[in-house]
Amino acid sequence: MPFTRIYNLHFSSQRAYVRKLKNMLGFVPKNVRLYQMAFRHKSVAITIKEGVKNSNERLEFLGDAVLGSVIAELLFKLYPYKDEGFLTELRSKIVSRANLNQLSRKLGFNELIEYDARMVSYPNKQSSLLGDAFEAVVGAVYVERGYTFTKDFLLNRIIKPHVDIHTLEITETNFKSRLIEWCQHYGKEVQFVHLDNPAGESSKLFSVEVLVDGSTCGEGRDFNKKSAEKLAAEKACEFLRVFETDD
């Protein structure tokens, strides 16, 4: 083990924190600050340069892309005779916010997340904290150790022991249909609005906003139009706590 990691684990002032990370991740990190940032929500971050905060948002963005790539390759090899629609649907189930929230909790990430304690009073605002941190940690692993290590980490430390892909395959998670049914049941109007992308962004990227009774409840972005709608519907379901409602 390199000296820096030995030092972090046994001699640094943050060795207790490093040991927690080692237990969760299965390896000793070299850049501890990077992982601390991965667990820092924007509500407690400070501005470091012209509107940019030292929160986990940038790492989350990166981790989302890396996670999607690893899962896409895994499914491509696991299901050689399935079409693009099937692969997209199953990938969406694996990387859904609900599933990432659950994985994050299983790994104990909730013990390290930093956020404004006042958010405790607003559970809807916490619906994505765990999943966001999960993606940010993936981003941190990628920055420190590269793609090959991150891929191995995700497959062998996370996916194989904690994700039953074949069960997810037959699990119904049609967030859009569920959201529409919920809104119909409670007499609410739901709209899926396709937004124009900001200047400079790829015209192939679809952005969708979900409005429930005129209020924004979720947004989704993807290079596939249907996937963008599903992501937006999923976030709306989380925000409205649709699956916690006792019909």
Per-residue pLDDT of the chain (247 residues; tens, 9 = 90+): 677 777 667 767 788 888 999 999 999 898 999 999 999 988 888 887 777 778 899 999 999 999 999 999 999 999 999 998 889 888 988 998 878 988 999 999 999 998 887 765 554 455 578 889 999 999 999 999 999 999 999 999 999 999 999 888 877 567 888 888 889 989 999 999 998 766 555 567 788 999 999 999 988 887 778 878 888 888 888 888 776 654 4
* 108 to 86, 113, 131: CA distances (angstroms): 31, 10, 12
Go through the chain and tell me how many residues it has.
247
Q: Which residue among 60, 135, 209, 229 is the active-site one?
A: 135
Range list for CATH 1.10.1520.10 in the chain: 31-169
Nearest Cα residue to 238 out of 214, 210, 213: 210
Nearest Cα residue to 78 out of 169, 187, 11: 169
* 63 to 3, 41, 66, 132, 187: CA distances (angstroms): 27, 15, 5, 9, 38
What's the CATH class of domain 31-169? mainly alpha
What pLDDT sits at residue 69? 96
What pLDDT sits at residue 200? 55
Residue 116 designated active-site = no
Q: Which residue among 57, 64, 222, 229 is the active-site one?
A: 64
Which pTM does this prediction carry?
Answer: 0.73
Range list for CATH 3.30.160.20 in the chain: 175-244
Structural domain 175-244, CATH architecture? 2-Layer Sandwich (3.30)
Residue 222 designated active-site = no
